[in-house]
Amino acid sequence: MKLIILDRDGVINHDSAQFIKNPGEWQPIAGSLEAIARLNQAGYRVVVATNQSGVGRGLFDMPTLNAIHAKMHKACAQVGAHIEAVFFCPHTSEHHCHCRKPKLGMFEEVAFRYGTHLAGVPVVGDSLRDLQPAAEMGAQPYLVLTGKGEKTRDTGGLPDGTQIYPDLASVVAALLGD
CA distance 146 to 94: 27
Q: Mark whether 9 is an active-site residue.
A: yes
Amino acid identity of residue 91, one-letter, is H
Kindly list the distances between the CA atom of residue 48 and the CA atoms of 8, 116, 154, 157, in Å, as whole numbers in the listed order.
6, 16, 25, 23
Nearest to 32 by CA among 51, 50, 52, 6: 6
Q: Mark whether 7 is an active-site residue.
A: yes
89, burial (CB in 10 Å: exposed 0-12, middle 13-18, buried 19+): buried
Q: Give Dmax (Cα) for the chain.
A: 43
Active-site residue, selected from the candidate residues 9, 15, 126, 167: 9
Active-site residue, selected from the candidate residues 7, 15, 126, 130: 7
The DSSP output letter for 9 is B
Catalytic residue ranges: 7, 9
